[in-house]
Structure formats: C-alpha cells, structure tokens
Structure 1
Amino acid sequence: MAAANLVGTPNPALTQAPVVPGLTAPNTLGQLIRGSIQQTIDITKQSENMSMGAIAGQTDMRDLVMAVANAELTLQTVVTVRDKVINAYNEIIKMPL
C-alpha cells in the first residue's frame, strides 16, 4: 500500500484556521498596528471610566484595581514594542548599503 493512500485527503476542519465571529485578521502591518493602538486606547478609556465610577462610589474597588492593572500592563507592552521597533530601525540604519 502506498504511503499516499494511507494519508488520504486532508480534513478541511483541521487545515483551516478557526473562525471567530466578528474577528477579522489584519491584512497589513498598518492595520495590525492601528488595531493594537485602538485596543490600547479602549482599555485606557475603560480604566479611566472605572476610576471615575469609583470616585462617584458606583464601581467596586476590585473591578477598578483589575482595570487599572490591565491598563498598566497594556501600556508597558506598548512601550516595550515601541522600544523594540526603534532598536530594529536603528540596526537597519547602521547596515551598509
């Protein structure tokens, strides 16, 4: 029996990426960056809204702490990615033509 006969045709369910409703993959690096920046802005706004709710006594402190920690982690990630991009740019500039 040939090895090709043992393998058979690939199962489409196993070869295609899973589909998540409402989620589309970015087509370009620009779209990926734009989406990431928008997500960072949304997380920061959510944290600010939670802070305002806590001041007004409408938000649970536990939820506020989680929102602020999430915003802080997001900001640290953005700064780290920015630093990596700048370092990569500087390395490319140093390369001889």
Structure 2
Amino acid sequence: MIVCSCNIVSRKDIEQVVIDFLNEDQWQLITPGKVFQAVSARGKCCGCFPGVIDIIVETTERYHELMQSPAPKVVDLLNRIADQRVRIENAKKRARLKVAV
C-alpha cells in the first residue's frame, strides 16, 4: 500500500527501514525524516507523516515484542515517538493558521 503518494513510498518500504534502524540500535528514536532520508526521499506536503509515525510505532512494537524487550524501556520509547507526532501535528496546525490569515 502506498503511504506517501508524493514520493511513492509504500508501507512495506517504511517497515523495512524501521526494522533496519532497530537492528542497528533498538532504542533509537525513529522519525519520519529519518525514514524518508533512508529511502532517498524527502517530505514534500508531509500529509503522510502522521501515518508514517503510526507505522513506525506499530513496527517498533512488533519488533520489541519479538525481541522480548523490557516493557518499561519500550513504553518510554513509544512515548518519545508519540511526543514526536504531537510536535508534527502542532506544527501543521500553526502552518494552516498562518495560511488562513
């Protein structure tokens, strides 16, 4: 399934990049920007970023479940990812308000 139509990036592409990152360092914070850079793309309209974050979270949860990672560390990592999503959503809202004015 295509997640980003601007760059033609699929869900499978994103999941593989996330797994590759987690194999390098299972506790790193993976952002949409890092994912897009890894697939040689960049955020254009960034409308897909919330969905990309959801895929990052889902893939990270599955990865840590398979690795039987300690739950408190996983919760902390997922909270950091959720904070990133809130920052992106707030930035998009501010950008829309500037356009509307």
Is TM more than 0.5 here? no
Query: Normalising by structure 2, what TM-score?
Result: 0.42
Structure (1 or 2) with the larger CA radius of gyration: 1
Structure in which a larger fraction of residues adopt strand: 2
Query: Normalising by structure 1, what TM-score?
Result: 0.43
**RCO higher in 1 or 2 (8 Å CA, sep ≥ 6)?**
2
